């Protein structure tokens, strides 16, 4: 067996620079998770205490895990499945560790099926925004507009199909092509636009209330389930336990410092989520909307804000275009674990992307239907935990709250206990001294505690 530092994978083309990797990783991390999901789950889970737990999960579990996954990816140099097989063999460990790769690939595939449906929502919003439909719109009309979209399986299917097509298109061409250039321009634009929205929120008269909601923790509002949701979201938003970071790490040059780079990616991702929260909650409070309104939160609130702003149609159009791009650069990474794996098995990239995208599209139709025709179909009602959950809710719950925390746990065990510390130290440099005890003890113990309180 090879004992060279990099493992013996057939090395695919690499990112041109550290900057290129950061852009791709940020492109993967920043997406619907930050702008759509973070605000609505924060609203559902009572605000401040939830945000604090989420930030702690990012720092104590998410960030060290990102370093671990990028490192594993670079050592294995293959798809997440290939990488785990390679690294386990290099370390003289059981082949079963490849299970981490399989579960990650399955999780990212399942996420992709519903991610595409939600991302599709941005497109009718772009059209509505551009045609000036949001001008002076009242909260209840915005609510009705969103309700109308969800009630139409045909529309949802159309936009889901377009979005999946866009994802397959880039994936088939190879992720490194064009991604770098697009992300470099679009991410800063999204950032600036969020800042404008936060600025607008400051004029709404409810900024203080929103800031207090987000940052003043009320631990009495925190449940064990909320902690699990915060944990799951830390993985979701950082694209962990889904193969994405491992797959992208496989294209990373040896000279790039993994630890520092991961810190940058995690900071940018967290920054975008917090900005999104600060942009949305002032509007929620100013318009008497319900923070716990659920997945429609930003689609109902933001049109109201844009509708009152000078130049609102322009900014609204730009915002939803940028959100579409942010979702696109994430969905490409969601498909990457599967495509890179199939590619290793001899299927061409084009065929793998089309085949994978097609199956994800088909499964995605069940999410389309759970938003309307099948909204009463909640198949796991016999378990208290899953009661009232539609298929879409179940995919989300299964991936973020079960598969990802489990995948993270086993990854931490592998790098903390099964891999030679000298090998991880060679990849992580000076940071290894801090990282190693965290990933060996702190992260797995924290995960066990969350599991324990959720099972009992």
| Binding-site ranges for ligand PHE (CB under 6 A) | 28-29, 31-34, 108, 111, 236-237, 239, 242, 244, 330, 333-334
**Residue, CB closest to ligand PHE:** 33
Closer of 137 and 335 to ligand PHE (Cβ)? 335
Minimum Å distance from CB 231 to ligand PHE?
A: 14
Minimum Å distance from CB 88 to ligand PHE?
A: 22
User: Phi and psi dihedrals of 23, rounded to 5?
Assistant: -65, -45
Distance from C-alpha of 202 to C-alpha of 186, rounded to nearest angstrom: 24
Minimum Å distance from CB 244 to ligand PHE?
A: 4
Closer of 323 and 438 to ligand PHE (Cβ)? 323
Closer of 28 and 424 to ligand PHE (Cβ)? 28
Residue written as token pair 């290793």: 344
Closer of 38 and 361 to ligand PHE (Cβ)? 38
Distance from C-alpha of 450 to C-alpha of 437, rounded to nearest angstrom: 19
Closer of 236 and 341 to ligand PHE (Cβ)? 236
Q: Are 46 and 220 in contact (CB under 8 A)?
A: no
Minimum Å distance from CB 240 to ligand PHE?
A: 7
Closer of 204 and 333 to ligand PHE (Cβ)? 333
Minimum Å distance from CB 414 to ligand PHE?
A: 19
Minimum Å distance from CB 203 to ligand PHE?
A: 28
User: Phi and psi dihedrals of 9, rounded to 5?
Assistant: -65, 160
User: Phi and psi dihedrals of 156, rounded to 5?
Assistant: -60, -40
Minimum Å distance from CB 161 to ligand PHE?
A: 20
Closer of 125 and 236 to ligand PHE (Cβ)? 236
Q: Are 39 and 283 in contact (CB under 8 A)?
A: no
Exposed/middle/buried for 28, CB within 10 Å: 0-12, 13-18, 19+? buried
Distance from C-alpha of 424 to C-alpha of 427, rounded to nearest angstrom: 5
Closer of 80 and 312 to ligand PHE (Cβ)? 80
Q: Are 349 and 83 in contact (CB under 8 A)?
A: no
Contacts of 311 (CB under 8 A, 6+ apart): none
Phi/psi class of residue 314: alpha, beta or left (left: φ > 0; alpha: ψ in -120 to 50)? Answer: alpha
Residue written as token pair 């089309």: 354
Distance from C-alpha of 294 to C-alpha of 219, rounded to nearest angstrom: 21
Q: Are 244 and 265 in contact (CB under 8 A)?
A: no
Query: Which pair of structure tokens corresponds to residue 43?
Result: 């609203």
Residue written as token pair 């509002």: 221
Distance from C-alpha of 15 to C-alpha of 389, rounded to nearest angstrom: 41
Closer of 29 and 228 to ligand PHE (Cβ)? 29
Minimum Å distance from CB 108 to ligand PHE?
A: 5
Closer of 108 and 113 to ligand PHE (Cβ)? 108
Distance from C-alpha of 19 to C-alpha of 385, rounded to nearest angstrom: 43
Minimum Å distance from CB 232 to ligand PHE?
A: 11
Minimum Å distance from CB 333 to ligand PHE?
A: 5
Q: Are 69 and 411 in contact (CB under 8 A)?
A: yes
**Residue 264: half-sphere exposure toward Cβ, Cα within 13 Å:** 16
């Amino acid at each position: 067996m090879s004992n060279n530092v990099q493992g013996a994978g057939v090395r695919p083309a690499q990112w041109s620079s550290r900057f290129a990797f950061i852009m791709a990783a940020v492109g993967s991390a920043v997406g619907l998770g930050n702008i759509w999901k973070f605000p609505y789950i924060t609203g559902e889970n009572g605000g401040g205490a939830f945000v604090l737990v989420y930030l702690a999960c990012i720092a104590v579990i998410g960030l060290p895990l990102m370093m671990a996954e990028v490192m594993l990816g670079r050592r294995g140099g293959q798809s997440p499945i290939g990488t785990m097989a390679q690294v386990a063999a290099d370390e003289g460990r059981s082949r079963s560790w490849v299970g981490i790769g399989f579960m990650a690939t399955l999780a990212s595939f399942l996420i992709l099926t519903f991610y595409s449906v939600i991302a599709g929502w941005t497109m009718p919003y772009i059209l509505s925004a551009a045609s000036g439909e949001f001008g002076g719109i009242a909260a209840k009309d915005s609510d009705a507009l969103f309700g109308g979209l969800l009630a139409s399986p045909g529309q949802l299917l159309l936009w889901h199909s377009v979005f999946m097509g866009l994802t397959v298109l880039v994936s088939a061409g190879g992720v490194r092509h064009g991604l770098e250039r697009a992300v470099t321009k679009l991410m800063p634009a999204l950032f600036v636009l969020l800042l404008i929205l936060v600025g607008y929120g400051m004029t709404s008269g409810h900024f203080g209330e929103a800031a207090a909601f987000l940052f003043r923790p009320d631990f009495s509002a925190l449940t064990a389930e909320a902690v699990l949701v915060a944990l799951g979201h830390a993985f979701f938003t950082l694209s962990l336990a889904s193969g994405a970071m491992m797959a992208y790490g496989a294209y990373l040059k040896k000279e790039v410092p993994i630890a520092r780079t991961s810190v940058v990616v995690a900071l940018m991702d967290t920054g975008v989520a917090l900005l999104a929260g600060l942009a949305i909650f002032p509007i929620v409070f100013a318009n008497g909307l319900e923070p716990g309104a659920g997945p429609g939160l930003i689609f109902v609130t933001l049109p109201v804000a844009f509708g009152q702003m000078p130049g609102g149609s322009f900014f609204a159009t730009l915002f939803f275009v940028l959100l579409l791009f942010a979702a696109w650069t994430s969905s490409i990474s969601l498909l990457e674990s599967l495509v890179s794996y199939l590619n290793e098995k001899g299927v061409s990239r084009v065929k793998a992307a089309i085949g994978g995208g097609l199956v994800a599209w088909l499964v995605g139709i069940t999410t389309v239907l759970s938003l309307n025709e099948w909204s009463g179909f909640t198949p796991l009602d016999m378990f208290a935990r899953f009661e009232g959950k539609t298929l879409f809710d179940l995919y989300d719950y299964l991936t973020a709250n079960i598969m990802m925390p489990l995948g993270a746990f086993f990854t931490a065990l592998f790098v903390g206990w099964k891999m030679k510390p000298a090998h991880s130290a060679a990849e992580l440099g000076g940071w290894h001294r801090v990282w190693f005890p965290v990933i060996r003890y702190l992260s797995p113990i924290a995960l066990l505690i969350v599991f324990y309180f959720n099972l009992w």
